[in-house]
Amino acid sequence: MSAPALSPPLSKLLDHSGAALLAVRQGRSLNDVLPELPAEARPGVQALTFQALRRLGAVDAVLHALVTKPPAPRISALLCVALALLWPSETPAYPDHTLVDQAVAAARRRTPGAAAFVNAVLRRFLREREAQVAAAQRSPAALWNHPPWWIDRLRRDWPAQWQDLLAAANQHPPMTLRVNRRRCSGADYLRALAVQGRAAVLLDDPAFGGQALQLTQPCPVDRLPGFAQGEVSVQDASAQRAAWLLWRSGLAPGARVLDACAAPGGKSAHLLELADLDLLALDVDAQRLRRVSETLQRLGLQAELKAGDAGQPADWWDGRPFDAVLLDAPCSASGIVRRHPDIRWLRRDTDIDTLAALQARLLDALWPLLKPGGCLLYATCSIFKIEGQDQIDAFLQRHVGDGAVLDPASPGHLLTVPDNHRLGDDARSPHDGFYYALIRKT
């Protein structure tokens, strides 16, 4: 077996992280940027860039105060990464002098003439750190590290919880596992983890059927026992509710089910772990369907896969109605921003209305495909009400004569705050933000 690749020196990680941050500023997702980096650099670059993105509002404000003329974009991004790592912390990732030295080395390698400038800016910040931090945090965008429009929307939607939601979005998320019920029980897998020396807790909420565990310390998936053999998958507890909600709605063996926006396939796989179903996994992106196929193959599951726009059933539907439809609709992803801290800086306020219109179109297009007596489960990983409660209220009004009835089992909005009574299982580690509505056709 070959030795594991060593992580590049910090100066190279800082250089790559500056480039990744600049790419986000230019509108690219980190999910697209990170695979382009050398494999040995990706974990380190992701960690550094995540840190910068979680503090970007604050370091932007500080950088603006420290310089009279904006530096070149690549140097500005490098400085933002370095400033984020120099931000006051009880457990700093690196000693201050090491960080400054390596940031200067990164600048010298990329733009030699900027090395002295980077050195001067970072050393000035260290001299004035307490005052600079205090001054920056007078701005809401710097205090909460979110765009102003995002802050305003949460304040309107959740007047009692908006501050907790913003604070939670800057925390590190837990790593939650879904144990494949066809292979072993959650309790058995907990013991397998213990043999490996990995601590975990079984989530005791009945909503998860004893198959959801949360690791005390995250780890690479290839180090999980039985991962390659399909015994377990990584899936946040909020996302695991989807399959359980549909299955407990009364799905019989062999039921015909549509997962309308299936990629990357976690919810399709979970449904098939719970029951033998005639499942169609549909996605508008044929390339992303490959991930669905890989997921099902690893877990030893089968489904029909088809590329198509869920909003245009005439292009792919064979006319046979479905017993159940899962619409995990495209959304702002505002509920999973702690896992993807670039989202808050990539989204624009105008995107939210556009996404809400798309969600309404998909709901209206898929509703006629459902059998009388069937269920449609609408889901978004969003905490914005326009993509959740408001969306479904409007749908029910539009279809009041079509037998659309909201099931009382619908969880509604699940928030990333400990006092959300609807989570119920582990208030110490709230799950991702989601919205669920289970709609029956009478």
By annotation, the residues acting in catalysis are 381
Rg of the chain over all Cα atoms, to the nearest angstrom: 23
Structure tokens at 431: 């799950």
CA nearest neighbour of 219 among 233, 236, 198, 235: 198
List strands edge to edge, sheet with 212-215.
200-202, 212-215, 175-179, 232-234
Q: List 179's β-bridge partners, or say none.
A: 232
Distance, in Å, from the CA atom of 332 to the CA atom of 8, rounded to the nearest integer, reads 34
What are the structure tokens assigned to 316, written together?
A: 């792919």
- Specify which residues 281 forms β-bridges with: 259, 305
Q: What are phi and psi of 45, to 5 degrees?
A: -65, -40
DSSP H or E stretch at residue 96: helix 96-110
Backbone angles phi, psi at 47, to 5 degrees: -60, -45
Are the C-beta atoms of residues 414 and 422 closer than 8 Å to each other?
A: yes
Main-chain dihedrals φ then ψ at residue 388, nearest 5 degrees: -130, -100
E strands along 105-231, which residues?
Answer: 175-179, 200-202, 212-215
Pairwise CA distance, residues 85 & 92, whole Å: 7
